[in-house]
Amino acid sequence: MSILLTLLMIVLILWVLGLWFGSGEDLTAFDQPVGPGGSECCSGPDGPSKEHREAVAGIKAMGGMIQGLSRKQMLQFTRDFMEDVPRGKSFNCEFIPVDVDGVPAEWVLAPGIDVSRRVLYIHGGAFIAGSPNSHRTITSRFSEVANAAVLAIDYRLMPENPRARGIEDCRTAYRWILANGPAEQGPPSRLFLGGDSAGGNLSLVMAAWARDQKLRAPDAVVAMSPLTDSRYSGPSIRNNLLTDTMLGPLFGALLKFPKVILSWIFVLENRFLPGNPDVSPVYGDLSNLPPTLLQVSESEMLLDDARRYVNKARKAGSPVYLQSWAGLLHVWQIYYPDVPEASQAWDRIDEFLKQVEAGAA
């Protein structure tokens, strides 16, 4: 009997700890449309394009390939899939490897850009995959629209490294780019910060960190489909599970676990509490942020991560904006130039950066 009671006490303690791990600010007050001037629905009247539907069909065709894979096999599949994204594409850019105080990276230089202008780009891939190579369709276009040299970093990935190592690499790169460009040392004339998905998370984390460290702030931040809440508390995490062609098959199985178990899984894998602003920027102080644009699909699981972040930041007085499209893939911008909606999203980013420079954002 004493052994049984001991086991029950251990289970109870673990359960209570799990509840505490997953605790945090109640964000339901931000589950509402973004106020006037803060958001824009950019969907066309005819729905997703033929090219986008073809991209979706390609993703769905690959869905059957992940059934029955072990965790190790799934990791390798994800990494291989992402590295194949730019295969067969040609780029009118120069890619220059560079060591960023120990962090591997590459400069991406579109023809005719002003190399005194710089972008720090942090790639996505669920913190477990991706590289500067996998995201060249994004970084090459970013270099064009920002008229800037893009520094794409190869930060350390999980599970080989703790989550904190990737964050450390981003901080190192941020400090480095403040003093180094592809052609000369010294501060940039303009500095932009960008990322997608996991990289969108890290870019928002870096913007707040730079503010707190009293470093030069980015002139603007662009986050595409960012994860902002590692508690996975937003309604769209579950409501959009079936409409998210990209993330649903990869992460839907996790949502079958009780939230207490999810909290334990997160803590054991990431070594952070889920509500820590270093991994969940929506729970941090969102005041005094630079002009920031979030783009998201209304069909993806991270829709409410973006909406909640924008609502909270705007309430805190920060110039943060949301652009949404109906029915699109997670991080559809990576399909530039093949998918019209990707081109449209980059045109909006171009407009946003121009508005920032004109003092209108």
* Residue 123 pLDDT: 98
**Which of 131, 134, 140, 197 is an active site residue?**
197
User: Is 123 assigned a catalytic role?
Assistant: no
For the chain, the straight-line distance linking the first and the last C-alpha, in angstroms and rounded, comes to 67
Distance between CA atoms of residues 36 and 314, nearest Å: 11
**CATH number attached to the domain at 43-357:** 3.40.50.1820
Distance between CA atoms of residues 58 and 15, nearest Å: 41
**Which of 135, 300, 318, 324 is an active site residue?**
300
Q: 274, 267 in Cβ contact below 8 A?
A: yes
Q: What are phi and psi of 181, to 5 degrees?
A: -125, -175
* Residue 69 pLDDT: 82
* Residue 6 pLDDT: 63
Question: What's the pTM?
Answer: 0.95
Q: Tens-of-pLDDT digits for all 361 residues of the chain?
A: 577 666 666 555 655 655 656 667 889 999 999 988 999 999 888 889 999 999 999 898 877 777 778 889 989 999 999 999 999 899 999 999 999 999 999 999 999 999 999 999 999 999 999 999 999 999 999 999 999 999 999 999 999 999 999 999 999 999 999 999 998 899 999 999 999 999 999 999 999 999 999 999 999 999 999 999 999 999 999 999 999 999 988 787 778 878 888 888 888 899 889 999 999 999 999 999 999 999 999 999 999 999 999 999 999 999 999 999 999 999 999 999 999 999 999 999 999 999 999 998 8
Query: For the packed helices 198-212 and 163-177, what is the interaxial angle rounded to 10 degrees?
Result: 60
**Which of 52, 123, 135, 330 is an active site residue?**
330
User: Is 300 assigned a catalytic role?
Assistant: yes
User: Is 236 assigned a catalytic role?
Assistant: no
* Residue 118 pLDDT: 98
